[in-house]
Structures are given as C-alpha cells and as structure tokens.
A and B are shown apart, each in its own frame.
Chain A
C-alpha cells in the first residue's frame, strides 16, 4: 500500500466527550437475536428442562404462550408445578418488555424526541464563512454525510482543508476540539496552504479572545499552527482498491482515535472515474462504500465530507452539469452542496438535505481560507 499516514508526534491525550451518548436508551429485553425460533435457550430454567422443551417441539417463547400447564406437563413428562413454573418464566421474559416505562419494540432504536435533543446538542463544524454557515444551519453537521461538488478551481479542496482545520477549534470557542482525517486521492492537498489556513484560524481565535473576553481572565491561547497540522491525519490514496481498503480500515482507526470528528475525502470520485470498466460493479462497490461511510458518521458521531467532481449529463434534450458517479451514487449522501460560479463570485447551493431548505450563499476563497464574500473578510463565525 502506497498510502501513508502522517502522524508526526504522538498526540497528547485529549479526553473525548461523547456528547450525551445515550447508552441507557438501549432498553434491555430480548437480545438482538434475529431468529426467534430457538429463544427458549435464553429462558432462565435448568438445562434439562430446556432440553425437554426443545425435544417436545417448544422451541420459541411464543409457542409457550398458548399452552396450558397441564398439557405442558404431559408433553414434557414433568410435574404440573414445574410446568407452571416454566410458563411463568416464559411469560415474564416476554412480558417484561411491555412493562417497561418506555417500551421499545426494537433494541437500539431511539425515539424522535430523544434524537431531537441529541441533535440540538451537537456542535457543527464552521466553514469560516458566516453566510455559508447560515444556509447550512450552523455549519457541517456531524452524524451526516455531506457531499460537496463543483467545477475545478471553485474551492472544493480549500473548503476541505478549512474544515480539517476548523474541526480543531476548541470547545471554549464554540468548536469541537476534534481531529481530522484527510483522504487525498488526487494529490491536491497542500500542506503550505493548510499551514496558512491554520495560522489565520489561530489569529482569528486570539482576536476573538481579546475582543470578547476583555474583562474575564484571558483564555490561554496554547494552540499553534504546528499543533493543528499534527492533528490532521493524512492518507494519500493511489487506486480505488486502496480507497476501499482504507475506508474499511477507518472503523478501526477511528476507534483508536476517538476524537476524530471529520473525515474529508478529496475526491471520492477520482479513481472510480479512471480505472473502472464494469459499471455495474462500480455501482455495487460505491454503494457499499457509501453505507460504510454512513455507518462511520453515525457510530462515531463525526462529519463525513465527500468532495466530488462534476460531469455533463444529457437530460431532457439538454446538457446539464451534475455531480459525477451516476444516479445511484447521488443517493449516498445525507446533504449535497453544489459550488458554482455566479459571475465572478463563488456561490454554494444546498441541493439536497432532509432538514435544510434549498438556499444559496456567496463565499470567497482568500489567502486566509474560506471567508464571507467581498467586504466582510474579517468576520468569522465562532458560535
């Protein structure tokens, strides 16, 4: 594997806060065993009784629900009181679920009310452009996969680098204090540029510090550009096989680095547009990869940002610009943002989102990174 990982110094341990991780919502009860057929195994009764039940054909708890204790005693050749006891245990194991204060018919499912509060407590990753944050509902959302596409030179990579830096803004400044994974398939990540953006980000933070915390004890500005670069894990990918392998490996990697809060793939498209001949295979491989990324986003509560290229599509008698990788792929993101030129100004447009309305906003790419368009370069949105 040619891809390598830049992790220059072992990172100082940061305690990772699982924001309101609600393990307690996983209401107990029946295990997530798919097959209910043999669930008498789980009844807290003696092994010999269990054996008798199964050999008499009572393999599921439900099969015990309609049998009388006398019949059961006869079938199993046991005493009536023993049979009664078995039925009591069986009805208890089935019924306990419904007696629960908050009944859940599926293990691990969460109700919309709890999810709403969980969602409200999540911090978004700012793009450093207040207008863009505005239409995105505060920035890039964690637990979701956001696809960003646009023509070459529009600033996709710039936005990717900006997010890899901004994810590290500490909690005191309204950020996530996380780390970033940057998966580079095209070789377009420029470390000098990342340094520049990191510098500007720190400058903005200290300015914000001076401005807002004059009276309070000044918050220590310990961050240096070096620290920011150290917290970007960079993978260089040279073929689609490597890309698939890496995404399969990410689960393990992130489990070991739990404060990773953003995964940027720049671009998700490149190798899949070069080497593939069997398009049906490509669709399968891509859709599986998409589900894995979805799973990562949900499981580790992180933001996945996929940068995509554009292509021409012939539809309704005219050619229009759409994102690459085809129709099936277009379903594999939660949100989609299209970057485009409007005159000589850059704009972003929300093309797809379950919760945001479609809207567009101007932004610009400056030496300091992504910023508001035109006049308001200095403004950075922190909260």
Chain B
C-alpha cells in the first residue's frame, strides 16, 4: 500500500500528536535530552562494557511501563534483562502505599514489560516482523499510549555477520536499522538500541559497527563510566536538534536502596 504524501502541516500535526517524548524517570537525564527519548526516533546508546547501557535501558523500560502504562518490548541478547533490577527500580520510586496495592501495582507494571531473547540477526528479523504485524492489527484500535522497543544489544547480533569480504553483513545491518526506524515512525514507538565501542586510532574508544551504521540512528549518546567511581558521563554524538559534544555527568548507583533516590544523580 502506498503511503499518502504528507505536507509540512500534516507532518507537524503528526509530530505534535504522536511523536512525544518518553521520559526515562531520571530527572537529570531527561533535562539533558530536552524531555527524554522521542517517539518515532531511533536512539542509540554507545559505551564500553559496564558503562551502564543496560542500566539505562532497564530504567527507561521501568519508567515507560509505569508512567505511561505503555507496553515495552525488550529484546535481550546477553541474558542481561534483570527483572529483579526492574522491581528494585520500581520499588524505589513508587509511592509508599499499602503493601497490597503496591504489590498489585508492581505486578501490573511488570506485566507491561515483555522480554524476548534473541541470539542471532535472523531471529531479530523474525521478532521485528512479527511485531510489525501485530502492531498493524492493533493500529485500528487506537490504543496509542507510550510504547518502547529496546534492543540490548544490537551490536552483538551484527558483529558476527559484519566484515570479511562479502557485503551481506552490511546489508543485513542496514536492513535492521531501517526496519527499526520504520517501526518507530509508522507505529509511534520509541526505539532504543545499544552499541559497544571498539578501540579506534590512538586507543580512543569509538562506536562499533562502522560508518554505514553511523547514519542510521537519529540520536547517538555516548555513555562512559569511570572505573572505581560512581560517576557516569553521558554525551551527545549525534542529535537532530542538539549540538553534539554536549555532556553531563551523573552518579550511577547500581543499588541505591540506602539512598532512597533514583539510580542516577547529577554531580556538581
């Protein structure tokens, strides 16, 4: 079916009505991103191992499920989806209500988060096609609340097929990128993927997946976690409406039960 042409006014209307921001629940981060993660866009989190990418994913998933009562689809490639951590994040920020209500709430929120393990790129295509079909079916029904798709991590699926002499790997990678963007745009999803870093020239870390991938995400954010401290740095590598290079520092607290605060805090 041919997509109807849209003029600028119609696009603006669509953007205002459907392409809102999903907050992460981390006040500082939402402020830094001017509202959070945008529906219709593909946001990429880049960072070295244990820089907090999965923590941010779990945090955003929890918040979207709670605040917007939205459905979150979490595609996990590293067995690192931790329901325990989600319960912890939700437990910290929920109101101190009576325990029965709290339990019921937690249950309802956590039922909105669906996790699926994916261990190769063809499995990813399968799941995404299925998701596309289901969303098409649901579209008529108009239940358009915040929806989020997370792929943690997309790079570990692409790395095994990328490179070498053939260009098939690159084709698959770009196809995944475009399918994710298509889903984001047509079905009003916010899409969040994670990517790892590789050593570039002079030992400086750069995002993996190379130049062809670089142009695909709308937003690229670099996470960096200083070893032996709680400080986590986030900076913009690419953003459609913000200058790249802008950075903020947070304190990452993997387990902040004692502090009674959300998982990240800004440092001075």
Q: Give A95 to B111 CA distance when docked, in angstroms.
A: 21
Q: Chain B's nearest CB lies how many Å from the CB of A334?
A: 5
Q: Are B83 and A294 in contact (CB under 8 A)?
A: no
Q: Give A108 to B203 CA distance when docked, in angstroms.
A: 41
State which size class the interface on A falls in: 35 or more
Q: Are A330 and B49 in contact (CB under 8 A)?
A: yes
Which residue of A284, A330, A354 is within 8 Å of B159 (Cβ)? A284
Q: Are A327 and B197 in contact (CB under 8 A)?
A: yes
Q: Are B138 and A98 in contact (CB under 8 A)?
A: yes
Q: Are B160 and A294 in contact (CB under 8 A)?
A: no
Q: Give A161 to B254 CA distance when docked, in angstroms.
A: 30
Q: Give A105 to B96 CA distance when docked, in angstroms.
A: 32
Q: Give A293 to B12 CA distance when docked, in angstroms.
A: 47
Q: Which residue of B lies closest to A333 (CB)?
A: B78
Q: Cβ of A280 < 8 Å from any Cβ of B?
A: yes
CB neighbours of B135 from chain A (8 A): 105
Chain B proximity mask over A17-61: 1 for CB below 8 Å, otherwise 0: 000000000000010111110010000000000000000000000
CB neighbours of B134 from chain A (8 A): 30, 97, 105-106
Q: Chain B's nearest CB lies how many Å from the CB of A97?
A: 7
Known: A35-B129, A109-B116, A327-B48. A332 touches B136 (CB 8 A): no
Q: Cβ of B213 < 8 Å from any Cβ of A?
A: no
Identify the interface centre among A283, A292, A351, A354: most chain B CB within 10 Å of its CB. Answer: A354
Interface residues of B in 104-122 (CB under 8 A from A): 106-107, 110-117, 119-120
Q: Are B78 and A34 in contact (CB under 8 A)?
A: no
Binds A, one of B22-30, B32-40, B149-157, B241-249: B149-157
Q: Give A102 to B112 CA distance when docked, in angstroms.
A: 10
Q: Give A334 to B152 CA distance when docked, in angstroms.
A: 12
Q: Which residue of A lies closest to B141 (CB)?
A: A98
Binds B, one of A5-13, A111-119, A205-213, A363-371: A111-119
Interchain residue pairs with CB less than 8 A apart (30): A34-B126, A62-B136, A62-B137, A65-B137, A105-B71, A109-B115, A112-B86, A112-B114, A113-B111, A115-B83, A116-B87, A116-B110, A119-B83, A283-B159, A285-B160, A291-B157, A292-B119, A294-B78, A294-B117, A297-B79, A298-B79, A298-B117, A298-B119, A326-B199, A327-B205, A331-B49, A351-B50, A352-B50, A354-B82, A355-B82
Q: Top 3 nearest A-B pairs by Cβ distance?
A: A330-B49, A357-B255, A352-B50
